[in-house]
Structure 1
Amino acid sequence: MPDAAPLNHRSASLHDHAEVERLLFVEAHLLDDKAWDAWAELYRADAVFWVPSWLNEYDLVTDPDTQISFIYHTSRAQLQERIGRIQSRKSITALPLPRTLHVITNTVLSERDEAFVEARSSWTTHVFDPRTRRQHLHFGVYEHTLVRSREGYRIARKKIVIMNDCIPTVVDFYSI
């Protein structure tokens, strides 16, 4: 059997890989537990949270400033504002809140240096809507840019590509 083609990624130490995966898993658990204030603290103040839409069958939007995205926030404060609206119960689209279960796998690290690491992973989110008693599944790819701080890695950028973008219900930060 021929050797597999090498990945075009720089290798990272096992310790870094485990630490990055742990952060991604903690992020998922915080979302599922609706511990959104703690979730937002994983992000840097200037973090970008972007969920691009699809232009066509093959291409994503590339410029969130001039093209339509599902979600685009350019700071932790914007994420916290969204959390505040949901917690205040002023967001009628989130009443009652769905139950979610995030699963993350296939994490690959790349472009690592002393300050940051990029992580690409596959994800699924199982969502149960108590209003309709229906369940559905979102899936796609996460691209995280993480910056090392004294407390460990912090999220500087998160891009979420939703592969099944025929969305049967509301999509928000907690359901993808």
Structure 2
Amino acid sequence: MTITTPIRPDLTFDQIQVFLHAEARALDDRDWDTWLSFYHKDCPFWMPAWDDEDRLTEDPANEMSLMYYPNKQGIEDRVFRIKTDRSSATSLPEPRTNHNLSNIEVMAREGTTIRLRFNWLTLSYRYGKTDQHWGTSFYTIDTTEGQPLITAKKVVLKNDRIHHVIDVYHI
């Protein structure tokens, strides 16, 4: 695939990779405050569900989603619940995770906005058992403020037949 949009000098492909790997590392390190700093205040975080026809749902307001936060406040609330053990979905002890990213693609550049697509595999270990989750993520990032910020995040979980609750650190 040829990327027709020129690479802007203010955020190179290498810098995009560093940004994505740093976000993944914050999850692996359970550095929740750093992880939250990657998100714009208006960033929706959405993981659609697969419907009965093996198609992804398209409307988080009216169809089933595996995860949906309309903005950063929802993500912050989830992190608060993880940090304070105030959620029945919180896994205690928290699993150890290892995020692996691949096939990073710049899909478009428009002014200070960059749309990305990449694949990921997350291994998690808890109670002597290793689980794996994989899928494709679609990010929109904005570089207006200097530090890139995620302004939209869509995560497609490819192995959605799972035997436990999935959380933000699994993806």
For normalisation by structure 2, the TM-score amounts to: 0.92
Alpha-carbon displacement from aligned partner over 1:50-86 (angstroms, at most 9, x marks no partner): 0000013531000000001010001111111111111
Amino acid at match of 2:101: I
Residue equivalent to 1:143: 138
Residue equivalent to 2:7: 13
Residue equivalent to 1:67: 63
Residue equivalent to 2:116: 119
Amino acid at match of 1:163: K
RMSD: 1.5
- Once residues 24 and 67 of structure 1 are traced to their aligned partners in structure 2, the CA distance between those partners, rounded to angstroms, is 29
Q: State the secondary structure of the residue aligned to 2:14.
A: helix
For normalisation by structure 1, the TM-score amounts to: 0.89
Q: 1:62-101 residue pairs with structure 2 within 5 A?
A: 62-93=58-89, 94-101=91-98
Q: Does 1:42 align with 2:22?
A: no
- Once residues 47 and 17 of structure 1 are traced to their aligned partners in structure 2, the CA distance between those partners, rounded to angstroms, is 22
Residue equivalent to 1:3: none
- Once residues 163 and 6 of structure 2 are traced to their aligned partners in structure 1, the CA distance between those partners, rounded to angstroms, is 38
- Once residues 63 and 88 of structure 2 are traced to their aligned partners in structure 1, the CA distance between those partners, rounded to angstroms, is 26
- Unaligned stretches of 5+ residues in structure 2: none
Of residues 15-24 and 27-36 in structure 1, the stretch that sits farther from structure 2 once superposed is 15-24
Percent identity over the alignment is 30
- Once residues 134 and 96 of structure 2 are traced to their aligned partners in structure 1, the CA distance between those partners, rounded to angstroms, is 16
Number of equivalent positions: 168
- Once residues 101 and 136 of structure 1 are traced to their aligned partners in structure 2, the CA distance between those partners, rounded to angstroms, is 11
- Once residues 39 and 64 of structure 2 are traced to their aligned partners in structure 1, the CA distance between those partners, rounded to angstroms, is 23
- Once residues 19 and 56 of structure 1 are traced to their aligned partners in structure 2, the CA distance between those partners, rounded to angstroms, is 39
- Once residues 53 and 124 of structure 2 are traced to their aligned partners in structure 1, the CA distance between those partners, rounded to angstroms, is 25
Q: Does 1:55 align with 2:59?
A: no
Q: Does 1:32 align with 2:28?
A: yes
- Once residues 102 and 6 of structure 2 are traced to their aligned partners in structure 1, the CA distance between those partners, rounded to angstroms, is 17
Question: How many Å apart are 1:114 and its aligned residue?
Answer: 1.5
Alpha-carbon displacement from aligned partner over 1:16-41 (angstroms, at most 9, x marks no partner): 21121111100000000001111111
The answer to whether the Cα contact below 8 Å between 1:138 and 1:162 also exists between their aligned partners in 2 is yes
Q: State the secondary structure of the residue aligned to 1:81.
A: helix
Q: State the secondary structure of the residue aligned to 1:95.
A: coil
Amino acid at match of 2:130: Q
